[in-house]
Structure 1
Amino acid sequence: MDTGFLELTKLLPRWVDLENVVQHEVEARYILKRAADHWASFQSRGDSGAEETGYLVCALVDRNWERIHTGHFSQVALATRKIYAIACCFKIFFLLLESTSPAQKDACSEILDEAQLLGCLEDWSELKVALMDYLDKGAAAATNSETLPTLEPLTRVSSTCDIPQLDAPSLEEFQTKCFGAGQPTLLLNTIQHWPALHKWLDLNYILQVAGNRTVPIEIGSNYASDEWSQQLVKIRDFLSRQFGKDTSKAGQNIEYLAQHELFSQIPALKEDISIPDYCTIGNGDAPGAVDIKAWLGPAGTISPMHYDPKHNLLCQVFGSKRIILAAPEDTDNLYPHESEFLANTARIDAAQLDPETYPLVAKAKFYQLLLQPGDCLYMPPKWWHYVRSEAPSFSVSFWWE
């Protein structure tokens, strides 16, 4: 067994670290205690009992996977997600005990991604990062060794902007003119210090840092359409299909990495950005948590007219996006879907209004702008927005209460 693997075992949680997580879960208590004790004494006792304990851990993973997929994800108990995540980590170690071949490491990498996507690994961040690094270094080489393009920086163009623009406003100016006033605003020259603005143009850099990660990809240009679906895909395959030299491989399907917490999954990419200070402004004494989402896709991706419940700062790293806004007061004129899942999404096509089908839309006031590299768009809660990428695009959004 290589020394790197032995060092990793020291990062696994001990039973005392897990007791609170599994207080009311008899099955999980028994299995995770057995797994934790096994690895706590692994270097002295070897792999005695590993086969049976590993089998039980795999059963625990399967059991909690089923629980996560029963009902709506938002209703899944946090304890269930934590049990699933740490059981996945133990499963990976038992699999690596069998083999550390490149193919086995690839399989373990996919398990780790599912642990992050479905479970909750926040309590074991050091283990997650170290395990990710270990698996990626020894993983099988991608079957597609295609070199991806380096995108040309877009030349800034003059464009109509129907909302106020502020050039690198101070916190006080932002709080007064934007946050406090509930005023959507285009913020200029506020993220010029981000390394991402130049590093991410080289798609091979993203491929190197994140290519082996599995992420949820939207298939189809518009999540409100009947043809829309989702798949779990390796980032390297997504990049190749949507940005590679032979984009005909994508057929008619536009794929979109949308609204994904990519930066908690891949900490190395988070080092290329920073949370804008504007996100510290709130109505309470202490700032709330900031949700950071990634939006990466080719030209032609569409987010139909919808609203978000939180303050939203949408930052454009590369590419450009055409955006159409409408105020919360126009909600009834935008014909929201009646289903609970799409209640925050309008039935109208903001880019091609159809007053005959939706006559009230004639009463709505729309605001248009072009979001270009280095720009940030502030949107107060419940402001409606339609977004279409005009070129290959990477955006980062920050949501906060």
Structure 2
Amino acid sequence: MESEFLLLTKLLPRWKDIENVIQDEVEARYILKRATDHMENLQSRGDSQAEESRYLVCALVDRNWERIHTGHFSQVPLITRKIYALACYFKIFFLLLESTSPAQKELCSGILDEAQLLGCMDDWTELKAALMDYLDKGGDRDSVTLPILEPLTRISCTCDIPQLEAPSLEEFQTKCFQAGQPTLLLNTIQHWPALDKWMNLNYLLQVAGNRTVPIEIGSNYASDEWSQQLVKIRDFLSRQFGGDTNKTNQEIEYLAQHELFSQIPALKKDISIPDYCSISKENPPEAVDIKAWLGPAGTISPMHYDPKHNLLCQVFGAKRIILAAPSDTDNLYPHESEFLSNTSQIDAAHLDLDSYPLLEKVKFYELLLQPGDCLYMPPKWWHYVRSEAPSFSVSFWWE
């Protein structure tokens, strides 16, 4: 058994680490106690009991996967997601005890990604990072070469909201945050390494290519043709930014509103949480939700609002944005369904006053978000977003 794998087993949670986490879940307690005992005594006892323990762990994964997929995800108890993540960890290790071949590592990598997407892994970040690194080494990779994007020439254009050049914290607090004023913050994140590094799509491919993420299929999540799939980032990048992007039947895919930086800590090192997000009564850094938005030209987020303060930061590419105030909510025809109640039925880029006559009362604000700039949007401000070029944005939400 390779020494690197044995070192990894030392990062696995011990029974004393998880006994209180899984509370009074009798089934999980029994199975995870067996699993932790087996891994702790791996060298001295060997693998004689591995088959039965692996079977039980796999059953625990399947049972909690079913629980997670019963009802709405927001209603899934946190304990269920934690047990699912723990069981996935141990399932991966039992599979690696059988084989560490590239194909087995690829299988385990998929299990780890699904555990991150569905489970709760916050308590074991060191293990997650080490395991991700181990599984990605020597794996089977497609020989894909992606372009290095050319920087966009900054253009001067009409902006219907105030603009501030890299404002101080005090200036942002008074003119934006306290005033509830959407503002374009120019040249605010120029210090981010991401602005240079991410232009080379091969860097993203190297760092993140093997991760599985949810991808939106179709340019607009409110359309009937929209769907989601779990795909490898390398496949997504190849299809949307590689040599086949000129195909007339190419579907637009969008990595949207995803916690990519929790899943891939190496990418988080290329950005930093802006100090503006610290302006709140009680808002520690861990309370800031960080989301990634990556896609080709033509991706659209229809007119919608978010319940939190929103700082949308543009790394590369440009986005055309249309805003409307919360006071115009009744004139923007929100969908009646609960799932889309924060989304308007209108196409903000092509207003149809015949079908939606109340739009005549709405004051719209337009702007272009360019690399290095951020857009501050107070809670419940409506916004429509369309990418004008291949684009990577990072949003920070806080209360």
Q: Deviations over 1:311-351 (max 9, x none)?
A: 00000000000000000000001000000000000001100
CA–CA distance in structure 2, aligned partners of residues 268 and 249 of structure 1: 32
Amino acid paired to 1:55: Y
Amino acid paired to 2:353: P
C-alpha displacement of 1:252: 3.6
Amino acid paired to 1:64: N
1:366 alignment partner, one of 354, 364, 367: 364
1:336 alignment partner, one of 330, 334, 337: 334
CA–CA distance in structure 2, aligned partners of residues 63 and 328 of structure 1: 43
- Percent of residue pairs identical: 83
Q: With the length of structure 1 as denominator, give the TM-score of the two structures.
A: 0.98
Amino acid paired to 1:138: G
- Is the alpha carbon distance of 1:303 and 1:18 closer, same or farther for their aligned partners in structure 2, counting shifts above 3 Å? same
- Is the alpha carbon distance of 1:280 and 1:250 closer, same or farther for their aligned partners in structure 2, counting shifts above 3 Å? farther
- Is the alpha carbon distance of 1:30 and 1:288 closer, same or farther for their aligned partners in structure 2, counting shifts above 3 Å? closer
2:318 alignment partner, one of 296, 317, 320: 320
CA–CA distance in structure 2, aligned partners of residues 325 and 315 of structure 1: 16
2:119 aligned partner: 119
Compute the RMSD of aligned alpha carbons.
1.1
CA–CA distance in structure 1, aligned partners of residues 342 and 33 of structure 2: 44
Structure 1 residue runs without a partner (length 5+): none
Q: With the length of structure 2 as denominator, give the TM-score of the two structures.
A: 0.98
Alignment of 1:123-138 (within 5 A): 123-138=123-138
C-alpha displacement of 1:209: 0.2
CA–CA distance in structure 2, aligned partners of residues 164 and 50 of structure 1: 64
- Is the alpha carbon distance of 1:249 and 1:118 closer, same or farther for their aligned partners in structure 2, counting shifts above 3 Å? farther
CA–CA distance in structure 1, aligned partners of residues 266 and 184 of structure 2: 28
1:251 aligned partner: 249
1:208 aligned partner: 206
Amino acid paired to 1:233: V
C-alpha displacement of 1:284: 4.2
Other structure's SS at 1:346 match: coil
1:101 aligned partner: 101
CA contact (8 A) 2:81 2:118 kept: yes
Amino acid paired to 2:6: L
CA contact (8 A) 1:299 1:390 kept: yes
Amino acid paired to 1:15: W
CA–CA distance in structure 1, aligned partners of residues 238 and 112 of structure 2: 22
Matched, 1:21 2:32: no
1:171 aligned partner: 169
1:50 aligned partner: 50
1:10 aligned partner: 10
Count of aligned residue pairs for this structure pair: 399
Matched, 1:141 2:119: no
CA contact (8 A) 1:85 1:116 kept: yes
Matched, 1:84 2:87: no
CA contact (8 A) 1:241 1:250 kept: no
1:237 aligned partner: 235
CA–CA distance in structure 2, aligned partners of residues 85 and 249 of structure 1: 39
CA contact (8 A) 2:184 2:374 kept: yes
2:351 aligned partner: 353
2:67 aligned partner: 67
Amino acid paired to 1:81: R
